[in-house]
Structures are given as structure tokens and as C-alpha cells.
A and B are shown apart, each in its own frame.
Chain A
Amino acid sequence: MTLLSVRELVTEFSTDEGTVRAVDGVSFDLPTGGTLGIVGESGCGKSVTALSIMGLLPQPNGRIASGEVVYQGENLAMASEVRRQAIRGAEVSMIFQEPMTALNPVHTIGRQLTEVVALHTNQSAAEQISTATDMLARVGIPEPAIRMTEYPHQLSGGMRQRVVIAIALICQPNLVIADEPTTALDVTIQAQILELIRTLQNDTGMAMIMITHDLGVIAETCEQVVVMYAGQVVEQGTVFDIFDSPKHPYTRGLLASIPTLDNQPKAPLEIIPGMVPSLHELPKACRFANRCTFAEARCEIEAPPIEVLSSSHQVRCLKWAQL
């Protein structure tokens, strides 16, 4: 069953230099309990997509210009702020990248956890504290009762990220959006956090959107993958579609350019030449054409539509069949 369906989402920001479209026509479906990864480089619109789903776009500059965010049959893009607040944190919640900025430095860990419970349930103060303490224990924080009284600066980076996860999960949401949850962490701590997220997902059956630039994290945690470039979806499919038979030149370039432990040492790496275009001056047709090794004249004239290759696999490229 489809839990979340994003349809032709367009998100715009007004800036001093005019309106920019950070997300331009993004569509995907997420089944109940499924895991979807959104991958792309800085500025590709992956975080803005998440904020649009959450209704957390920076105000007053950001807005959903068109499209739908359908959660359990309800279009959140048209929902009132009151309705949004009722859903946010209780049914749909978010794990942020920087645990130090996501946590309030002047409130105790306990207060930040019980605040969520108080907002969304009718529990008494004592029940809220025991719910919060249990949640801290579930995310693997030792001596949770003591941690409840401590402040974020007293915890290590990995422990802070566990607290952020605890806040996101304390009301047992149906959907969690994790925005680069391990990017700021060391590799051994990243492994702990990914394992924790996997265990919690197995236990609760929640669905997850994992936003990251790390293809290794995608391969290990996701069932479906959406590849974004300059505000658009350029390819999407199952994790096997994307890693075994990538069709878009950008996806192929990304996969080829990461050094892996199997690489020949000191051999030149595959590169994607040039850099991501500015959202102010996007190429008119294919947005990747000026960096694409396979581009031909029509790629700069004709905007490629999304083409359906199979029930799971879609690509936005005029030449995918010839590659």
C-alpha cells in the first residue's frame, strides 16, 4: 500500500535575483514500511524535497508552487498549518544532519523529548518522563535516566545523533525522513547509527526516506532509489536497477567516480567534468547536457521527458537506449 505519494512537486524560493525553482516536478511513491533513498550532490534539491514534505520550508521565501504531497490519501501541500502540526512529529518526523544545531542547547535532553510527547499525546508528566527514558534506552544511550537531566553539549556527536533519532521516533511515526543522518559522524559511529536505524525500522515497521550523497549508505539501507540533479529526478528505480544497470549518464558518472576499496591504486578516477549549474541559469533542455560525455545537439534543444523502462525503473535521458 502506498503511504506517501509525491506528485509533480514544484518548490520555489524568492531571492534577490528573482524566483528560483529548487525542486522541479519531482514524483515518487513510497509504500508502507518501505525505504527510499534520495541521492544527489549539494544543491540538487534533495533536502528541499524533504522540507516540502515536512512543511518546514523557510518562511516567507519558500513555497510549494504546485504538485501534491499525498500522505495516506491526504494532500499535505494543501493542508492547514494546524493540521500539518498535528501530523509532524507524530506521524511523519525528521532526523536532521547536524545534531548540535538540531538540538536546543539551553534545554535538557529530557525536556526536548517530553515536549514532543506532551504535544501529541495525553500522557501525564510522569508518563511522559518514562516514555522518554524508555526511548533513550531503545536508541542505545547508557544510563538514560541521568542523560535526561543533561544538556546536548555534555554528549558526544554519536550520542547526540541518537538523541535526535529518539526525538524523531518517540511518537512511533509511520514515516521518518533522515536528512544526511550520518554525514557529520565518524565511520565507526556511522556504522553504529545505521545499524540502529535498521533495527528500529525492523521493530516498528516505519517507512523511511534516506537523503544522502553517499552511495554506499544508499546501497546498504534502501530498497528504492531516486537520483536527483539540478532540481529534477533524472533516474529512479530499485536499488538493483540503479546499481546494476544505471541508465542515466549522471548516475553512471556518480557510480564510476567514487573510489572504492577494489580500485586500482593511483589509477586516474572517472570524472564528471564541469560542475552543477546554478539554479539561476539552468540549461533549458537537458540540465546535465553541458557535463555529459554522450550529449549531442538535440540534448541542448529538447527537454528529455521521464521514460518508463520497467514497472520500477524510470530515466530522464533522450539517449538512454543507445548507451
Chain B
Amino acid sequence: MTAPLLEVNDLKMHFPIKSGLFSRAKTFNRAVDGVSLSIQPGETVGLVGESGCGKSTLGRCIARLYQPTEGRVYFKGDDLVHLSHKALLPYRQNIQMIFQDPMESLNARHTVGEILEEPFIIHGIGDAQSRRRSVAKLLDTVGLPSRSATRYPFEFSGGQRQRIGIARAIALNPELIICDEPVSALDVSIQSQILNLLMDLQQEYNLAYLFIAHDLAVVKHISDRVLIMYLGQIVESAASETIYQSPLHPYTQSLISAIPIPDPHRKTNRILLQGDVPSPIAPPSGCRFHTRCPVAEPRCSETAPSLLEAETQHDARCLLINSQ
């Protein structure tokens, strides 16, 4: 196995919750609570979970949009967590982000040309003329006409705006792109166009993706490996095919069984979870999933399970699996 492009070790992001303006934080929102993962060059790792599980926060910590509370993020062996903003600049070229809502992540007052030129200006690459050529090439790469450069984001449809967001992310030839729900705001027919574009770009530029989404079918389609996240922790990780064929963790099993299948002949055997996701401010004792788990035993509320290898290349965080 080659050296990983990205390695995350025991990452924690605890947001302080203050009760008043001058009071000290007494409680913390443990959005990400001890996550480790690695991504190989050119690999797509899918990260799946429900709202509030911390998947977006994890992505933002890796891109250093947030300063993690604890833990290490190694990019090609260099630790990013304690770098100053200035020292981080060269790494920012290599780690880019695509956001969910391209309307909110593109500056409405800048033309598309200005938006796409900005990364080159910030990193001092090329002169005005070569930058304009680069912008034209980027637009062509993501399938937009070159006249788009003089227009504003509001003049485009949702799918086209997401193409602009992708063009900005690949502008500086990054090696890793963190895609945070890049297709969940799009219509079905546009969603498949964008997924195909992301897969084509990966082939062409050997990009690695951390693909964050809540749609399991989309994640399965694009990912080599999949991580399942629940309340700030990874509960299962395996190759994409494996995790869908033989999920081990009860949470993964219920997630997969909950997907509505577009086939009226198929009768699904659904595992219905009771209740809602608990708050990450006061996560349940022991196994965090025990309050909703259909097979929980008394010990699950007492002992916190660790993420252990249950089968080859297949990790799960569950007392019932790991004790067998």
C-alpha cells in the first residue's frame, strides 16, 4: 500500500456552548469525537450519516476551516493542525472544497470569471493574460460555455452553479477535494450529470475525494470505501461493495434498509429505528447508538465499544460484533 495522501488521527471538534455573553463554556457540543481515517491518492472515501452526526464538521476540520480541538491531520505526512494561516497557504492549493449550496458559496457580486480567477491571484500564479486563459480552460473542463465568464452566479441554474463551484475547486490542481453534499440540492437528472463530471475529473487528474452525503445510493456509486458516522464517531468502515452487501453494525443495517427502492415489486424488510438522533451535547453512555438499537443488550449502555477490525478491511464499533 502506498503512503496515504491524508491521514486523520483521533480528531475532535468540541464547540463550546455558552449560557451568557461573559460566562465560560460549561458544556460542549461534541460534533466530532475521536475520528481517524485515511485517504489514498486518487481514492474516493464516502462519509455517510444523518443530520447532526458531525460529517460536515469533520470535512471542515480537514480543510482547516475549523481549528480542531484535538487530534492530528496529516497531509502527505505533514501535520496541518498547528500550522499558522500563512504556513497553511501552500496546503490550501492541494485541499479544496465543494459545498452543498452553490448559490451561497459563490460571491453573488462577482462575475464567474472573477470567482475563478481569485484562487490564482491569492496564490500568485500567472499574469492577467494567463489567468484568463486558465479560466476559459476551466469553464471548458466543467462543460460551461466560455461566455459564462462575464456573467453572474444568479444567471445560472443550480446544476450550472455547481459546475462553477467544481471549476473553482479544481483551479489549482488540488490532490484532495472535500465534497460536502455536492448533489443533494439538485434534481435527479442534473444530479447524475454532476456525479459523472466528478468521476471524469477524478480519472483525468487523479483526484482523491472525501465525499460527504446522506444519500447512500449516491455514495455507494461514487466511493471506493465508505465510512458510516453516528453522533461524532465512525461506527463502520469497509469497501463500498462490502458495506452494502454485508453491513455489520446495526445502525448501518437500518440505514440501508430505510432507503426507498424505486421498484414497486420489491417488498422491503425494513428495520425501523425508534426515536430521533440524541443530542451530541450529551451523548448516551456506553455505545452511543444503544438508545435506538434494535438489538441492544444491557451492557451496551455501560461499555463504550471501540472501532475494531471485525473482518478483513472491515471495521465496526459494536460490542455484539466484536465479542463474537
Contact = CB atoms under 8 A, between A and B. Distances in A.
A130 interface: no
Interface residues on A, range: 35 or more
Contacts of B263: 219, 243
Contact of B241 (A219, A244, A255, A265): A265
Interface string B75-117: 0000000000000000000000000000000000000000000
A260 interface: yes
B188 A188 contact: no
Contacts of A263: 217, 220-221
A273 B192 CA distance: 10
Contacts of B321: none
Interface stretch (A18-26, A104-112, A200-208, A209-217): A209-217
A51 to B, nearest CB: 20
B273 A259 contact: no
B262 A187 contact: no
A147 to B, nearest CB: 14
Given A219-B262, A258-B262, A271 B216 contact: no
Contacts of B218: 259
B241 A268 contact: no
A164 to B, nearest CB: 16
Contacts of A261: 216-217, 220, 244, 256, 259, 261
A23 B1 CA distance: 57
Contacts of A268: 196, 199
A231 interface: no
Contact of B264 (A219, A257, A265): A219
A216 B218 CA distance: 13
A158 B266 CA distance: 26
A270 to B, nearest CB: 7
B254 interface: yes
Contacts of A271: 189, 192-193, 196
Contacts of B70: none
B192 to A, nearest CB: 4
A192 interface: yes
Interface string B296-317: 0000000000000000000000
A187 B264 contact: no
A279 interface: no
Contact of A192 (B192, B261, B272): B272
B239 to A, nearest CB: 9
A62 B294 CA distance: 49
Most buried by A among B50, B158, B188, B223: B188
A216 B276 contact: no
Interface in B23-61: 50-51
A41 B187 contact: yes
Q: Do most interface residues of chain B lie in helix, strand or loop, or is the interface mixed?
A: helix
Given A158-B276, A243-B263, A260-B261, A220 B268 contact: yes
Interface in A229-256: 239-240, 243-244, 253-255
A266 B221 CA distance: 6
Contacts of B217: 258-261, 263
B237 interface: no
Contacts of A3: none
A18 B255 CA distance: 47
Given A191-B272, A260-B217, A260-B262, A266 B50 contact: no
Interface residues of B, number: 47
Nearest to A41: B187
Contacts of A219: 260-264, 266
Nearest to A238: B264
B187 A42 contact: yes
Contacts of A129: none
Interface in B167-210: 187-193, 195-196, 199
A79 interface: no
A239 B259 contact: no
A259 B221 contact: yes
Given A186-B51, A191-B258, A269-B221, A254 B189 contact: yes
B288 interface: no
A189 interface: yes
Given A158-B276, A187-B216, A187-B255, A259 B260 contact: no
Interface in B239-289: 240-241, 244, 254-266, 268, 270, 272-273, 276-277
18 contacts: A41-B189, A186-B214, A187-B50, A187-B255, A189-B276, A191-B272, A216-B259, A218-B262, A220-B264, A240-B265, A243-B264, A258-B192, A263-B220, A265-B221, A265-B224, A269-B192, A272-B189, A275-B160
Sort A-B residue pairs by CB-CB distance and give the 9 closest, nearest first.
A216-B260, A259-B221, A272-B189, A191-B258, A41-B187, A257-B192, A186-B50, A269-B192, A215-B262
Interface of B: 50-51, 157-160, 187-193, 195-196, 199, 214, 216-218, 220-224, 240-241, 244, 254-266, 268, 270, 272-273, 276-277
Given A41-B188, A255-B262, A265-B220, 17 more contacts: A157-B51, A187-B258, A188-B50, A190-B260, A191-B260, A191-B273, A239-B264, A240-B265, A254-B188, A259-B192, A261-B220, A261-B244, A263-B220, A265-B221, A271-B193, A272-B193, A273-B193
